[in-house]
Amino acid sequence: MAEKMTFNELRRIKDSLPDGTMSRIASELGITTATVRNYFGGSNWKDGTSVGIHLERGPGGGVVMLDDTTILNRARNILDES
């Protein structure tokens, strides 16, 4: 399921996550930590892969369209736990 939000909203979610969450999500989903970081706006293409994030520059950091919300939903669940 796709979701649209501002880049700043996506970064706020990432910045609110407890330490170690990127590794936890990566382990649970069987992907690299760099791929999880790329999902939240990183750009480590050597160690990570693209994850269906499309950015249109503009106010609020621009608009982000996420093709797959699996990582985002896992991050939100972790925030709900804490």
Q: Is pLDDT larger for residue 60 or for residue 19?
A: 19
CA distances from 17 to 3, 4, 25, 27, 52 (A): 19, 20, 11, 16, 21
Range with the poorest average pLDDT among 21-25, 44-48, 51-55: 44-48
pTM of this structure: 0.82
Q: Is the pLDDT of residue 48 over 70?
A: no
The closest of 76, 52, 75 to 65, measured between CA atoms, is 52
68 three-class SS? coil
> Are the C-beta atoms of 55 and 64 separated by less than 8 Å?
yes
30 three-class SS? coil
